[in-house]
Amino acid sequence: MTYVNPVTQEIRIRNFGTNTVDVSTYRLCGLFEYANLSQPSVAIVSGDYSLSAYESVTIHWTASTGFNTTASDIGLYLASGAYSDPASMVDFMQYGAGGQGRNRGH
């Protein structure tokens, strides 16, 4: 994730690798609210989910509570695997305050 805007609920995901990656089945978690990139609460703002080398997609996540303007964590996860397994996590960030969501060791 190279950009997260909690006010507009937008997230930019970038492929820093040299091979094309399909992220359409990746998952999000924010304060233990979950979404698949392919479900209706997530919409593409620009780009597409097939990311060639160094390409980005910007998405809008209409989250109920997990993606708020005050403080949250946002995790990007592979299509499968436990959210508690670090090997399933592709990227993670938090804003507003430390110790948010998964950063608390959940």
pTM: 0.89
pLDDT in tens, 12-62: 999 999 999 999 999 999 988 999 999 999 999 999 999 999 999 999 999
Q: Which residues pair with 25 in a beta bridge?
A: none
pLDDT in tens, 82-94: 998 989 999 998 8
Q: Which residues pair with 14 in a beta bridge?
A: 56
- Distance (Å, whole) CA 28 – CA 32: 9
In this predicted structure, the answer to whether residue 106 has a pLDDT above a threshold of 50 is no
Predicted confidence at residue 32, as pLDDT, reads: 87
Question: Of 4-13, 61-70, 82-91, which range is least confident?
Answer: 61-70
Predicted confidence at residue 9, as pLDDT, reads: 94
Of the candidates 57, 61, 87, the residue with the CA atom closest to the CA atom of residue 74? 61
Q: Which residues pair with 74 in a beta bridge?
A: 93
In this predicted structure, the answer to whether residue 105 has a pLDDT above a threshold of 70 is no
| Every domain of the chain and the residues it spans | 3-96
CATH says 3-96 is which class? Answer: mainly beta
Q: Cβ atoms within 10 A of the Cβ of 53, count?
A: 11
Predicted confidence at residue 100, as pLDDT, reads: 67
Of the candidates 91, 13, 92, the residue with the CA atom closest to the CA atom of residue 55? 13
- In angstroms and rounded to an integer, the radius of gyration of the C-alpha atoms of the chain is 13
- Distance (Å, whole) CA 52 – CA 58: 14
Tokens of 72: 């949250």
